[in-house]
Amino acid sequence: MNIMPPPFATVLVVGGGPAGSYASAVLAQEGVDVVCCEAAYFPRYHIGESLLASVKAYLQIVDVVEKIGQWGFHPKVGIFRLLAVTFGVKLLLAGISH
């Protein structure tokens, strides 16, 4: 499939990964004429991609929290929990409920 972008845009975002797609969404919400170009077809296969809990506030800005929640991703407790269990490290982290 070969889709050509429009002949004019105020902003051209190259890459539709997490940063490119987010930047495109925010700019579009603000009324900017934006085009996001991505070479791969979605969903694309990537190992190791995940979202940190701190990203949720940014996802709320572009109104996708509910949509992402519907995919059924498993929450990850992260490396801090692993360190605490493995080495007996006591950690106090603001905003972490695990």
* Whether pLDDT at 26 is above 80: yes
pLDDT value of position 27: 94
Question: pTM of the entire structure?
Answer: 0.60
* Domain contains 1: no
* Domain contains 65: yes
Proportion of the chain in helix, strand, coil states, percent, rounded to 5 = 35, 10, 55
Rg of the chain over Cα atoms, rounded to whole angstroms, equals: 18
Count of structural domains, the chain:
1
* Domain contains 66: yes
* Domain contains 83: yes
* Domain contains 22: yes
Residue 13 main-chain phi, psi, to 5 deg: -100, 125
* Whether pLDDT at 38 is above 70: yes
**Tokens at 93, concatenated:** 């982290």
Asked if residues 58 and 22 have their Cβ atoms less than 8 Å apart, the reply is yes
* Whether pLDDT at 62 is above 70: yes
* Whether pLDDT at 95 is above 50: no
* Domain contains 2: no
* Domain contains 96: no
Domain of 73 in residue numbering reads as 11-87
* Domain contains 68: yes
pLDDT band at 14 (very low <50, low <70, confident <90, very high): very high
